[in-house]
A = this chain, B = another copy of it.
């Protein structure tokens, strides 16, 4: 049975962190060490140290995958895997080059707990097509792990943003997330879950549950649907 914990990101507020850490303790119960995938950022040692210092392991020791001499073997032997945030294109490029997509899929299919945050949640989807990140490098393809059959847009928010211009707030006219996801659905069919910051999904087999706050579900040709924790997300996703 697949076991996934997929976080949106934005865990800079203490209550949000506590919620995530509680979910991690449940998700990783019985696990001794977690294999951490740091490839979404450039400095792998720094991110692993920072995660530990900030307590982002929620009590579990994190082993950086970049330290393994054989990354595929490390995935094959891991008790659990945690893919951290950063730049999704960079992460996908590394996962593809190191031949890690298939080994991770196999292990997750076999029941190994997977956790992703932000870019780590993007790559749990079939493609990177609903990332917010800048395409700073070019992976061989947009294909990602496909551990779920829907797409996630992490750090989701509704409407236009406001930006600071000195002391003033100014309306920003760039595309909203809803605009961007509507564009995605002009060319793609998969449902997209817009996950507000501080929220996460827990996937157990066919069940998909939302925690921490609302999410917006986008499906081609249908109105967007706002869902709350406890709502029947599994059915709405057709999972």
Contact = CB atoms under 8 A, between A and B. Distances in A.
Contacts of A141: 138
Interface in A121-138: 128-138
A155 B136 contact: no
Interface string A128-162: 11111111111001100000000000010111111
A183 interface: yes
Number of this chain's copies in the assembly equals 2
Interface residues of A, number: 45
Interface centre among A42, A164, A175 (most CB of B within 10 A): A175
Contacts of A186: 42, 136
Interface in A86-125: 86-87, 90
Nearest to A196: B165
A140 to B, nearest CB: 10
Given A132-B134, A136-B187, A173 B90 contact: no
B132 A136 contact: no
A172 interface: yes
Interface string A155-195: 10111111111000110111100001101101110000000
A91 to B, nearest CB: 11
A88 to B, nearest CB: 9
